[in-house]
């Protein structure tokens, strides 16, 4: 029987030669992830189970990134729970402030997630790691507790949908635009509990940062996971980081897909998602005159070094519009340091941006950029739901870093060519 890459990874982790869509399996988990919002609940449930030690101290990862550095007393208490549990269990991968980064940028960078892995995280954007050829998906805190105790979890094998991109990208178009365009075409439930396999000649030329951005937003189409087959670009990224063995899986040529989509990437322009859903996408030339109050460049979607380079390329020699607050958040300390060494931080500061230590902060309406009633933000984040970044009567628009930087200069949503 021919299998997709997702089916092969799941089969390998439950000890079967094959699995079929709709089948329920019990699978071994390679990496289990929690953050300062979700892990405290998991830790409480872990203890209520009577568990004394985690299944593998090298495979449970805790990253306090949502409200860290601590926003208030409540967030400080949440982070304290992680800190004490990590010490108690002698976890290898616990990241304190100064070493902490946005989790879905940090784990690939640190070589914690590798090709062929089965990864669960108590965070919906755990699907990011599919860019490395891993099966990764978000789960609830109680599921995380079960995995921390046993190293296993049940899964329903998803159907797979293939997304084939062909053609050469237009200037300023990135992986973020490809996934926003895709969500705009199929809707926020267009891949509900299905594996989004992303492939094609366009993808084969994309850098790893763009691939991570695309898989990161698979959940915004309802996907169980997003996944891209391993190639030389993946291996160039992984080889220097890997501290353990990994296995590469690929889809069989005659594997069965529930649907196949063909997209001419050469016709896709920079995309902007309007409130209040990621599916409400428009090309940059269809946006019209939308003034903004705030721009956020960062997050687990677009806070990597290539994103910062693109933003700096646009911002260099310009000032942020006096009516706009520009917040730039490098996703990890290593990215921050590299941005400093390349002079990007100076460009941001000269443009009168606020540059933050790594945090998820504004993306989820936590802190570091909360919106007041009636305010509008353009962000390189992944969600623009009602109240996502603050007041329920505020608005969030989504774009790539180039559009975000140009818009910060112009004071309205604008394309890079307008600067």
As a whole number of angstroms, the distance between CA 148 and CA 85 comes to: 12
As a whole number of angstroms, the distance between CA 416 and CA 172 comes to: 7
As a whole number of angstroms, the distance between CA 86 and CA 93 comes to: 8
> Are residues 346 and 355 in contact, defined by beta-carbon separation less than 8 angstroms?
no
Q: Which is it for strands 271-273 and 135-138: parallel, antiparallel or unpaired? A: unpaired
DSSP, collapsed to helix, strand or coil, labels residue 267 as helix
Question: What's the pLDDT at 384?
Answer: 95
Collect the ranges in the chain with pLDDT lower than 50.
Answer: none
> Are residues 225 and 126 in contact, defined by beta-carbon separation less than 8 angstroms?
no
DSSP, collapsed to helix, strand or coil, labels residue 398 as strand
Class of domain 272-418: alpha beta
- Specify burial of residue 154 (Cβ count, 10 A radius: 0-12, 13-18, 19+): exposed
Residue ranges of alpha helices (H) inside 187-225 are 201-204, 208-216
Helix, strand, coil percentages in the chain from 3-state DSSP, rounded to 5: 35, 20, 45
Question: What's the pLDDT at 188?
Answer: 94
> Are residues 94 and 62 in contact, defined by beta-carbon separation less than 8 angstroms?
yes
Residue the block writes with tokens 């004071």: 411
Question: What's the pLDDT at 1?
Answer: 75
- H or E element, residue 283: strand 281-283
pLDDT tens-digit series, residues 266-293: 999 999 999 999 999 999 999 999 999 9
> Are residues 180 and 210 in contact, defined by beta-carbon separation less than 8 angstroms?
no
Question: What's the pLDDT at 266?
Answer: 96
Closest CA to 195 of 144, 237, 242, 134: 134
The pTM assigned to this predicted structure is: 0.95
Residue the block writes with tokens 């998991």: 42
- Measured in whole angstroms, the distance separating CA 155 from the mean position of its chain's CA atoms is 21
Give the orientation angle of helix 208-216 with respect to helix 305-315, to 10 degrees. 100
> Are residues 255 and 8 in contact, defined by beta-carbon separation less than 8 angstroms?
no
- H or E element, residue 143: helix 141-150
Give the orientation angle of helix 39-48 with respect to helix 73-89, to 10 degrees. 50
> Are residues 411 and 376 in contact, defined by beta-carbon separation less than 8 angstroms?
no
Q: What are 417's two structure tokens?
A: 């060519």
Task: Report domain extents, the chain.
Answer: 5-263, 272-418
> Are residues 283 and 253 in contact, defined by beta-carbon separation less than 8 angstroms?
no
pLDDT tens-digit series, residues 342-383: 999 999 999 999 999 999 999 999 999 999 999 999 999 999
Sign of CA dihedral 9, 12, 17, 20: negative
As a whole number of angstroms, the distance between CA 329 and CA 66 comes to: 13
Domain 5-263, CATH homologous superfamily name and number:
Aconitase, domain 3 (3.30.499.10)
Residue 226 CA: distances (Å) to CA of 120, 307, 323: 13, 20, 38
Phi-psi label, residue 356: left if phi above 0, alpha if psi -120 to 50, beta otherwise? beta
> Are residues 371 and 400 in contact, defined by beta-carbon separation less than 8 angstroms?
no
Give first-to-last CA distance, the chain, whole Å.
54
């Amino acid at each position: 029987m021919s299998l997709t890459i997702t089916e092969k990874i799941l089969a390998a982790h439950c000890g079967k030669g094959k699995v079929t869509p709709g089948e329920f399996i019990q699978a071994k988990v390679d990496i289990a992830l929690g953050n300062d919002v979700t892990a405290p609940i998991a830790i409480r449930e872990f203890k209520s189970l009577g568990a004394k030690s985690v299944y593998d101290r090298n495979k449970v990862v805790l990253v306090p990134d949502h409200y860290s550095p601590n926003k208030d007393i409540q967030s400080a208490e949440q982070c304290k729970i992680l800190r004490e549990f990590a010490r108690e269990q002698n976890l290898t991968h616990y990241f304190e402030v100064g070493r902490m980064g946005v989790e879905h940028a940090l784990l690939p960078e640190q070589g914690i997630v590798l090709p062929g892995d089965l990864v669960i995280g108590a965070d919906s954007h755990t699907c990011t790691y599919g860019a490395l050829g891993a099966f990764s998906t978000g789960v609830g805190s109680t599921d995380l507790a079960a995995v921390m105790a046993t190293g296993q979890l049940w899964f329903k094998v998803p159907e797979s949908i293939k997304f084939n991109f062909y053609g050469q990208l237009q200037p300023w178009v990135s992986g973020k635009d490809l996934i926003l365009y895709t969500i705009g075409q199929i809707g926020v439930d267009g891949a509900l509990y299905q594996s989004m396999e992303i492939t094609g000649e366009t993808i084969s030329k994309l850098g790893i940062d763009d691939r991570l951005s695309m898989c990161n937003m698979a959940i915004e189409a309802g996907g169980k996971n997003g996944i891209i087959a391993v190639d030389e670009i993946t291996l160039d990224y992984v080889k220097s980081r890997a501290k353990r063995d990994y296995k590469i899986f690929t889809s069989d040529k005659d594997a069965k897909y529930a649907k196949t989509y063909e997209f001419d990437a050469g016709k896709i322009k920079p995309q902007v998602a309007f409130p209040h859903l990621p599916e409400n996408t428009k090309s940059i030339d269809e946006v019209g005159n939308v003034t903004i109050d705030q721009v956020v460049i960062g997050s687990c979607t677009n806070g990597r070094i290539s994103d910062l380079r693109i933003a700096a390329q646009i911002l260099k020699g310009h000032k942020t519009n006096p009516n706009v607050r520009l917040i730039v958040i490098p996703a990890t300390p290593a990215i921050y340091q590299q941005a400093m060494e390349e002079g990007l931080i100076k460009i941001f500061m000269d443009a009168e941006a606020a540059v933050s230590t790594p945090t998820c902060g504004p993306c989820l309406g936590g802190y570091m950029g909360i919106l007041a009633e009636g305010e509008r933000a353009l962000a390189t984040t992944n969600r623009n739901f009602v109240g996502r970044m603050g007041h329920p009567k505020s608005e969030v628009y989504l774009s790539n870093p180039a559009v975000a930087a140009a818009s910060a200069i112009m004071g309205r949503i604008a394309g890079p060519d307008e600067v």
